[in-house]
Amino acid sequence: MPPTPLVTDILLVGAGPTGLYGAYCAGFRGLRTVVVDGLPQPGGQISALYPEKEILDVAGLPRVRGRDFVAALLDQAGRYGPEYLLGRQAVSLEYADGRPRVTLSDGQVVEAGAVILTAGIGTFTPRKLPAGEEFLGRGLSYFVTDPQAHTGQNVLVVGGGDSAVDWALALGPIAKSVTLVHRRSAFRAHAANVTAVTEGGTCVVTDAEVEALTGDDVLRSAHVRVRGEDAPRVFEVDSVIAALGFVSNLGPLADWGLALRGRSILVDTRMRTSLDGVYAAGDVTEYEGKVRLMSVGFGEVATAVNNAAVALDPELSLFPGHSTENS
């Protein structure tokens, strides 16, 4: 027997910063809120890719660690008790009595007054390391969720972008050793961070690729083929972090019938999509003059929530009031 539909006022699809702020905005208006995300934890890319990295472009916060920023967003929304359904995707959309009904990947159905898509760049999956995939979860990883787990380890980081260099810098003070391997001589990462990692204690190997990972029950060594050398270099390692970027797409949302431009969802000035009762905000949206910044996403989701509130109850004012009035 299918599970009983979960009924809510607002369904937010995406638990990144925009979705979490949307949960606060909806709660502030007294709306029941459910937040769905395919990742097992809230925070979107921040939690998955750079929880320890400092974020410098949030208004009023000169610098804030990613993990702390997500925690603050959860605390802000938490006073209104949103329900989180994590580790499951929003798969399909249909309508019942004019209301959107979204079926999740585990079969749960959520019936909402309005759906707001805050899916960021959509579903993202890491680019795989060509060698050693059998060690995934046994020494090989694509994300660093807990840096302290690498304390005292010999760590090999693969990649040449910001994530790879950031992790090499972050793990340097706590790891026994850090080796950074990049297949080119030039890095894509921020120049100042590349300088910091090359001048620090990290062993940097360029023009090289990981040829094989070896071990028994867990990873023991990485074989790195350096261009122009006859034999691979063998590094004794406890863990390999493959920060090779990721591939993103809209996933099941692409089949909902939304008006799209490329991989982005077209919206109007009220953040309405082409589907009744479905709004969108954040990086997943597209319109003339769109700027993809987190701060812009916060404004967009506030616009979406308040327009959705009025659509649900035309007697309401579009303006939600100031938070200081309720303190």
Q: What is the mean pLDDT of residues 234-240?
A: 97
Provide the angle, in degrees to the nearest 10, between the axes of the packed helices 17-28 and 66-78. 20
Q: Is 124 annotated as a binding residue?
A: yes
Q: Is 230 annotated as a binding residue?
A: no
Q: Is 269 annotated as a binding residue?
A: no
Q: Is 283 annotated as a binding residue?
A: yes
Bridge-based pairing state of the strands 109-117 and 278-280:
parallel
Both tokens of 136, joined, read 């995934």
Residue 224 has pLDDT above 90, yes or no: yes
| CATH 3.10.450.50 is right for the domain spanning 6-124+247-326 | no
Looking at residue 327, its pLDDT comes to 58
- Average pLDDT across the chain, whole number: 93
Instruction: Report if pTM > 0.75.
Output: yes
Residue 231 has pLDDT above 90, yes or no: yes
The CATH number assigned to the domain with range 128-244 reads 3.50.50.60
Quick: pLDDT tens for 242-259.
999 887 788 899 999 999
Report the distance separating Cα 116 and Cα 34, nearest Å: 10
Quick: pLDDT tens for 122-169.
777 788 999 999 999 999 998 887 889 999 999 999 999 988 998 999
Q: Is 21 annotated as a binding residue?
A: no
Q: Is 97 annotated as a binding residue?
A: no
Looking at residue 52, its pLDDT comes to 72
Residue 44's closest CA among 143, 117, 120?
Answer: 120
Report the distance separating Cα 197 and Cα 261, nearest Å: 39
Looking at residue 278, its pLDDT comes to 98
Report the distance separating Cα 10 and Cα 24, nearest Å: 11
Burial of 254 (0-12, 13-18, 19+ CB in 10 A): middle
What's phi and psi for 171, nearest 5 deg? -85, -15
Residues of the chain with CATH 3.50.50.60: 6-124+247-326, 128-244
Report the distance separating Cα 86 and Cα 70, nearest Å: 15
Looking at residue 302, its pLDDT comes to 98
Q: What is the DSSP string of 166-192?
A: HHHHHHTTTSSEEEEE-SSSS--S-HH
